Structure 1
C-alpha cells in the first residue's frame, strides 16, 4: 500500500515524552526563584513547545528582557533535576519502529535546545529512529515554519507528503504556515478543544490511537 506521507515530523515534549508536567513545574519554580508570582498551570502549559525565551516572555510578561538569561538558567536547573526521571509515553518506541519499518522518514521539530534534544534522544534511546531534527535555538521558534521548511528541503519532500504531529496549537500553526498537513494529540500540553480549532486531520487521545491512525492513513 503506497505511503501518504514520506516524512513524518514529531514534536518532542508532550507528544513523544511525558514531560509537560515537568516543564510547567520548572517554569513556576524558576519564577519563584526570581521573586515573581508563578504563572498558573494553564498559562505555563500554553507556552510549551515555543523556544525557551519566547516561552518565558509569555509566561512572565512582566519579566525584564535583561533577566531572560537568569530565568533561563533557573528553568534549566529545575528541569534538569527531573529529566532523567521522565519517560516516553507508553507505545512510542513501538510506534516509531513500525513507522521506520514501513519506510517513512522520521524527524523531530521541537522547542527544546539542541543540547536538550540531544540529551533526550540519548537518554530515551530513540536517536537512531530519526533522520533529521530541528531545535528552537537553531531556527525561528514555532509557529514560524522554518523547522519544517528546512526538514523538507533536507530530504526533498513536498509539503503534501509531509505530516506534522504535535500536542500544541503552536505545532499545528507551524504546520499550516508551512503548508503541511497536521495531526494533533490531546494527551500532552494543550486541551483537545484548543487543538481542534486548528482543524488537524485527526486528534488522537492516546499513543495507540495515534499509531492506529498512522497505520491506516500514513
Structure 2
C-alpha cells in the first residue's frame, strides 16, 4: 500500500461535509431582520460562514449595536434550529469518511459551529466514532486563527507537513496557511472558489466524488 502523505485530515463542517450553507445564510438574514438591522445580501451573509457565531453576525450586520448582539444570536439560533433537521450530509460523505478511516488516517472537524451545535449534529447524522477529534469556535480561537489546527496537531502528535485541512471558505484555507498546513478547497459550499488561488490549496474539488478521488490518490 502507498504510504500516507497526511496522518491527520481536518474537515470544516458546514458547506464541506454538511449541506447547510443555504439554511445558515437565511438564518443570518432573518435574525438581522428580527432585530431591525439592514439585512445582508446572500453574498454578504454566506461570506461569514465558518467564523465563530458572534464574529460572523457582527460582520454580517455592522449596523446592529453591540447591546443587541445577544438577541441577534438568539434569533439566529431560533431560525437555524427550527429547520436544522431538514438538512443532511452531502451525498457520498459517509463512504468517503469510511474509506479514509480504513486507511488509518486520523479524522477531525475544525468548525465555526458551537460545541453544542456540533455535538447535536453529530448525534443526528449518526457519526459518533467516525471523528477522532474536533474543535469548535466557542472553545478556542475562531477562523482564520490557526489555533484550532495547532490544538488538533498537538492532540495527535502530528506535524504541520503531515496535516491537511479541507474547507469551503477562504477562512478555512487561510487558517491552514497560518498553521503551516496543506489545504484542499471545495467549490460547492459558501465561497466562490475564485478567491482560493492566493491561499495555495493543493486542489479544488467540485464535488464530494472528486474530493474522495483526490484523497484516495493523493492523501
- Shorter-normalised TM range: over 0.9
Q: Deviations over 1:1-32 (max 9, x none)?
A: 10000000000000000000000000000011
Work out the CA distance in 2 between the residues paired with 1:142 and 1:215. Answer: 27
How high is the TM-score relative to the length of structure 2?
0.98
Tell me the alpha carbon deviations over residues 94-130 of structure 1, each in whole angstroms, 9 at most, x when there is no partner: 0000000000000000000000000111111122110
State the partner residue of 2:218. Answer: 217
CA distance in 1, matches of 2:200, 2:180: 13
1:18 is paired with a residue whose SS is: coil
Secondary structure of 1:84's counterpart equals helix
Q: How much has 1:63 moved relative to structure 2?
A: 1.4
Q: Extract unaligned runs of 5+ from structure 2.
A: none
1-structure distance, mates of 2:35, 2:64: 9
Q: In structure 2, what is the equivalent of residue 29 of structure 1? A: 30
Match of 1:165 in 2: 166
**2:38·2:63 contact (CA, 8 Å) conserved in 1?**
no
Q: Which residue in the other structure is 2:129 paired with?
A: 128
Instruction: Tell me if structure 1 keeps the 8 A contact 2:49–2:190.
Output: yes
Taking the aligned partners of 1:68 and 1:5, their CA distance within structure 2 comes to 40
- Counterpart residue number, 2:192: 191
Moved over 6 A (4+): none
Deviation of 1:143 after TM superposition, in Å, equals 0.3
CA distance in 1, matches of 2:196, 2:118: 24
Taking the aligned partners of 1:118 and 1:90, their CA distance within structure 2 comes to 21
**RMSD (CA atoms):** 0.6
Please list every run of 5 or more consecutive structure 1 residues that lacks an aligned counterpart in the other structure: none
CA deviations over 1:128-180 (Å, ceiling 9, x no partner) = 11000000000111000110000000000000000000000000000011000
Alignment partner, residue 148 of structure 1:
149
The CA deviation string for residues 15-68 of structure 1, in whole angstroms up to 9 with x for no partner, is: 000000000000000011111221000000100000001100100011111211
In the aligned structure 1, how far is the partner of 2:126 from the partner of 2:191? Answer: 26
